[in-house]
């Protein structure tokens, strides 16, 4: 089972991934110059530098967007861990303990059932660890 993070943290994760990807593209592009591949190496360097720069600009846009969303997010205390967290939309997850949060009574039962299902799946996984596995 894959635990999802809060929406703000998901945006930040994508921003970080694009930043690292853009830097990697630029470093790959430099290989054309560093290893002296001649005119083709310079063309490769220019192409990868431009792609890396575009990726970094998209990353900057995502970070800016996440920051703007974060300023308008509802700040509340998580009922599980008691820490202050931000919530986007009607349902979100705690930034720290990944508990499903909601302020809308309509979604309260689905959030509780999803949390209960996740806990039950984790318990079943723990129970299977003691099973005898054939070699």
At residue 102, does pLDDT exceed 60?
A: yes
pLDDT at 134: 58
Q: Are 93 and 35 in contact (CB under 8 A)?
A: no
**Can you give the pLDDT at residue 49?**
94
Predicted local distance difference test score (pLDDT) of residue 1 = 43
Global confidence as pTM: 0.68
Tell me how many degrees the CA angle 85-56-43 measures, rounded to the nearest 5.
165
**Burial of 59 by CB count in 10 Å (0-12 exposed, 13-18 middle, 19+ buried)?**
buried
CA end-to-end span of the chain: 25
Closest CA to 64 of 13, 18, 12, 119: 12
Q: Indicate if the pLDDT at residue 94 is higher than 70.
A: yes
Given a cut of 50, whether residue 133 has pLDDT beyond it is: yes
Instruction: List pLDDT tens digits, range 50-66.
Output: 999 999 999 999 999 98
Alpha-carbon gap, residue 99 to 3, rounded angstroms: 10
Q: Which residues contact 45 (CB under 8 A, 6 or more apart)?
A: 29, 30, 31, 32, 33
> pLDDT tens digits for 3-56?
577 888 888 899 999 999 999 999 999 988 888 888 888 999 999 999 999 999
Cα–Cα distance for residue pair 109/113, rounded to 1 Å:
6
pLDDT at 121: 54
User: In the Cβ-directed half-sphere of 124, how many Cα atoms lie within 13 Å?
Assistant: 7
Domain spans in the chain, listed from the N-terminal domain onward? 7-73
Q: pLDDT grade, residue 111 (50/70/90)?
A: low
């Amino acid at each position: 089972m894959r635990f999802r993070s809060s929406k703000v943290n998901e945006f930040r994760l994508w921003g970080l991934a694009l930043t690292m990807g853009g830097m990697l593209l630029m470093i790959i592009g430099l290989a054309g110059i560093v290893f002296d591949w001649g005119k083709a190496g310079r063309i490769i360097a220019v192409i990868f530098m431009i792609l890396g720069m575009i990726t970094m600009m998209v990353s900057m846009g995502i970070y800016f967007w996440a920051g703007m969303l974060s300023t308008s997010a509802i700040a509340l205390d998580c009922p599980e861990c008691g820490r202050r967290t931000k919530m986007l939309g009607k349902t979100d997850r705690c930034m720290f303990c990944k508990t499903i949060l909601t302020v809308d009574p309509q979604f309260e039962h689905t959030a509780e059932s999803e949390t209960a299902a996740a806990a039950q799946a984790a318990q079943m996984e723990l129970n299977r660890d003691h099973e005898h596995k054939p070699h």
